[in-house]
Amino acid sequence: MKARATDARRAAVLGSPIAHSLSPVLHRTAYKELGLGDWSYDRFEVDEEALPGFLGELGPEWAGLSLTMPLKRAVIPLLDEITDTAASVEAVNTVVFTQDGRRVGDNTDIPGMVAALRERGIEEVDSAAVLGAGATASSALAALARVCTGEVVAYVRSEARAAEMRQWGERLDVEVRTEDWADAEQALRAPLVIATTPAGTTDALAAAVPGRPSTLFDVLYDPWPTSLAARWSAYGGAVVSGLDLLVHQAVLQVEQMTGRSPAPLDAMRKAGEHALAAR
């Protein structure tokens, strides 16, 4: 699945909306550090309807694509193959074009989450809590399948969402118990809390952070810190940010698309931090 690293190659991030994406900053930084001066990385506003046409027009100079919402599931029927990791959550965020022209889909969000946790010393926990039940929550469960040895409690707003999370748990071989969002304050006492909700959703929970919190993984990165993350840090808890996730999953994308390893994690993170600070 390695792309040629000697010719001028192209890559890009697709999605809708896409103007906010930090992926170009991260990937371009990686190319510079790796000496791939003839590689380029762009962003394109592409929705589900436009995706087949966009893919059909790509030439042999293309090495790969990063995908964000709403394309992570829509792309699957358009690919020749997807990895087991992508299949486990029915979501592809990475497409690599092989030298023989095949389109291979992968999901680097899941190993990216695991890598971000391990960077902070979180190798294994005996239980965890997940706030939310959207697409990111299923990736969180897939990551927890690799680091959590016991029960995961998911706090959700509806029985339909609860049923979805239990189904994902069965599929991913994770012991999932669901609780109502009204009781989400209880989640904050877990050894690991993964917040997968949109901006502002967890703000009301900040006042309930316990005196000695453990580890919070908040998948948001803009605006940052969230109210929950700020209070968590103030109380001495460890915080893993959405930027940590974004950088680690981008590292894996760069390595797959370019065939170069390791990708420059520190330089990519610094570039992301600088870009966020400039907003």
Catalytic residue positions?
72
Q: How far is CA 232 from CA 99, 111, 219, in A?
A: 47, 24, 14
Q: How far is CA 107 from CA 74, 116, 141, 154, in A?
A: 14, 15, 14, 22
- Per-residue HEC secondary structure of 17-32 comes to CCCCCCHHHHHHHHHH
The residue type at 164? E
End-to-end Cα, the chain, rounded Å: 36
Q: Are 172 and 145 in contact (CB under 8 A)?
A: yes
- Please give the DSSP secondary-structure letter assigned to residue 39: -
**DSSP reduced 3-state for 224:** coil
Give the C-alpha separation, 62 to 74, whole Å.
20
- Please give the DSSP secondary-structure letter assigned to residue 104: E
Strand segments (E) across the chain = 10-15, 40-45, 62-67, 81-82, 94-97, 103-106, 128-131, 152-156, 176-180, 192-195, 215-218, 238-240
Q: Which of 180, 174, 184 is nearest to 140 (CA)?
A: 174
- Please give the DSSP secondary-structure letter assigned to residue 200: T
Give the C-alpha separation, 85 to 100, whole Å.
22
Cα 179 from chain centroid?
24
Q: Give me the half-sphere count of Cα atoms (radius 13 Å) on the Cβ side of residue 144.
A: 35
